[in-house]
Amino acid sequence: MRILIAGGDGFCGWPTALHFSARGHEVAIVDSLIRRQWDEELGTQSLTPIYSLEERVSAWKEHSGREIRTYIGDLTDYSLVERVFRDFQPEAVVHYAEQRSAPYSMIDREHAVFTQVNNVVGTLNVLYAIKEITPDCHLIKLGTMGEYGTPNIDIEEGYIRIQHKGREDVLPYPKQPFSFYHLSKVHDSHNIMFACKAWGIRATDLNQGVVYGLWTDETRVEERLFNRVDYDGVFGTALNRFCIQAAVGHDLTVYGKGGQTRAFLDIRDTVQCVELAALHPADAGEFRVFNQFTEQFSVLELAQRVKRVAEEMGIRANIAHLPNPRVEKEEHYYNAVHTKLIDLGLKPHLLSDDIIRELILTAQRYKDRVNFDVIKPTASWR
Ligand code: NAD
Ligand code: USQ
């Protein structure tokens, strides 16, 4: 299959590109490399050293003998998107290329506007390119579990059957997102659903939970193939942050009570789920929604687990309850359905103490790269 990975220089995109390439698919990456600029803006960097995209793909070629084509450019520029689609003629597009940090989107008006324009316009351009150039191409779009929020009923996979005044219909599940970033994903979902209906496009919206880990079989081979992993208060995410904090002797930063429950998955399952979606495409005109995660945990539960594993490794770890910079429920019901990817064959890597240990060991190895000043949360929702 010819697979285009949009955002292929990022945390999920790079391992995905290698995973498909290793399995014999023809892979191309399109990325503006803007994520590397956001690191500079925030005074941070990936915990692990990451090489330039050019060095990464040439190391992959040396190692595997396989070529990954690269296009450097911004999806909000339609002339670039058009050129990539005409040249590569993708049969599937895995679209990761968005601003993905909730705190970044909440810094100020400028960052909120940037996030929504970047994400919504980029996705609209991809939809138009599919319609005009490769109408059979399957769009595999990364959405987020945070589109649903934390309702007091079970979260279904995309749709819910509703009875109202004696009539019944299956409708998109109500959305109560957590931030202007999460809202950009809701807007994307609506645009994609409409494009499927209007133009007969085939699309899968993967509502992914928080991803942890960083290693996949391909990225651990040698340093030039390493994946990025974020620990800072803007791009770092809950479990990875706690492991890195424990390793460098920083308090584990639980926001508020820590009863916030979220859906989680291992990065190896991200690539596995995306592969399953690609190998089993949506029908023409179908807007399919999968909840892409394997387990749910409260934030405090994760911090306590990291603390226990760290202490077994001889590292003293302290849990701090910081004032919550976000507006979110800290104690709530949470039960999200996630059967569709399992039905397609997903074999989950559930969270184990070994994963936590490996993350802590990785962070110990690269602790000199950690800037303590960027660990605390800075963006406030209020
Ligand atoms: P990332 O920031 O590491 O990677 C995103 C990549 O997209 C970067 O390389 C960036 O340069 C590129 N990009 C951004 N805007 C672009 C544009 N307009 N044109 C071209 N390239 C652009 O993010 P990630 O963690 O790999 O996340 C990938 C996707 O998965 C995102 O859409 C995110 O919302 C979603 N997601 C991530 C997680 C997670 O925990 N990391 C969880 C759920 C969903
Ligand atoms: N949290 C803490 N301490 C921290 C970091 C986070 O208590 O140091 C809490 C947050 O308050 C929140 C929860 O942990 O309640 C998750 O926060 P996060 O930063 O790990 O994840 P989030 O902001 O939701 O965003 C991440 C990715 C985003 C993706 C989303 C999936 O950055 O791209 O869409 O996870 S989901 O959460 O399912 O929406």
Q: Which atom of ligand 1 is nearest to the CA of 211?
A: 40
Distance 35 CA to ligand 1 centre (A): 8
The tens digit of pLDDT for each residue in 158-215 reads 999 999 999 999 999 999 999 999 999 999 999 999 999 999 999 999 999 999 999 9
Distance 29 CA to ligand 1 centre (A): 13
| pLDDT in the model for residue 19 | 98
Per-domain residue ranges of the chain:
2-374
Read off the pLDDT band of 320 (50, 70, 90). Answer: very high
Q: Token pair of 112, please? A: 């909120």
Query: With pLDDT > 90 as the criterion, what percentage of the chain qualifies?
Result: 100
Q: What is the rounded distance in angstroms from the CA atom of residue 14 to the CA atom of residue 16?
A: 5
Distance 128 CA to ligand 2 centre (A): 31
Cβ partners under 8 Å of residue 279, min gap 6 = none
Averaged pLDDT for residues 82-102: 98
> 53 to each of 28, 59, 298, how far by Cα in Å?
12, 10, 35
> If you take atom 6 of ligand 2, which residue's CA is the nearest one?
238
Q: Which atom of ligand 2 is nearest to the CA of 147?
A: 39
Pocket test for ligand 2, best of 181, 211, 237, 261 (most atoms within 8 A of CB): 237
Distance 72 CA to ligand 1 centre (A): 15
> 104 to each of 30, 116, 119, 177, how far by Cα in Å?
22, 11, 13, 15
Read off the pLDDT band of 266 (50, 70, 90). Answer: very high
Q: What is the mean pLDDT of the chain?
A: 98
The tens digit of pLDDT for each residue in 51-81 reads 999 999 999 999 999 999 999 999 999 999 9
Say how many CA atoms lie within 13 Å of 24 toward its Cβ: 0
Q: Residues lining ligand 2, judged by CB closer than 6 Å? A: 100-102, 144-146, 182, 209-210, 237-238, 241, 253-255, 260, 262-263, 299, 326, 328
Q: Which atom of ligand 1 is nearest to the CA of 36?
A: 11
Nearest to 324 by CA among 263, 228, 260: 260
Q: What is the rounded distance in angstroms from the CA atom of residue 93 to the CA atom of residue 286?
A: 15
Q: What is the DSSP string of 149-161?
A: ---SS-B-SSEEE
| pLDDT in the model for residue 218 | 98
Q: What is the rounded distance in angstroms from the CA atom of residue 234 to the CA atom of residue 105?
A: 9
Q: How far is CA 306 from the centre of its chain?
A: 22
Nearest to 47 by CA among 367, 357, 374, 306: 367
| pLDDT in the model for residue 76 | 98
Residues serving a catalytic function are 144, 181, 185
> What CATH superfamily classification does 2-374 receive?
NAD(P)-binding Rossmann-like Domain (3.40.50.720)
Q: Residues lining ligand 1, judged by CB closer than 6 Å? A: 7, 9-13, 31-35, 74-76, 96-100, 118, 122, 142, 144, 208, 210-211, 237
Averaged pLDDT for residues 312-335: 98
Closest ligand to the CA of 234: 2
**Burial (CB count <10 Å: 0-12, 13-18, 19+), residue 329:** middle
Q: What is the rounded distance in angstroms from the CA atom of residue 332 to the CA atom of residue 339?
A: 22
Q: How big is the chain, counted in residues?
A: 382
> If you take atom 5 of ligand 2, which residue's CA is the nearest one?
238
pTM as predicted? 0.98
Q: Which atom of ligand 2 is nearest to the CA of 252?
A: 8
| pLDDT in the model for residue 258 | 98
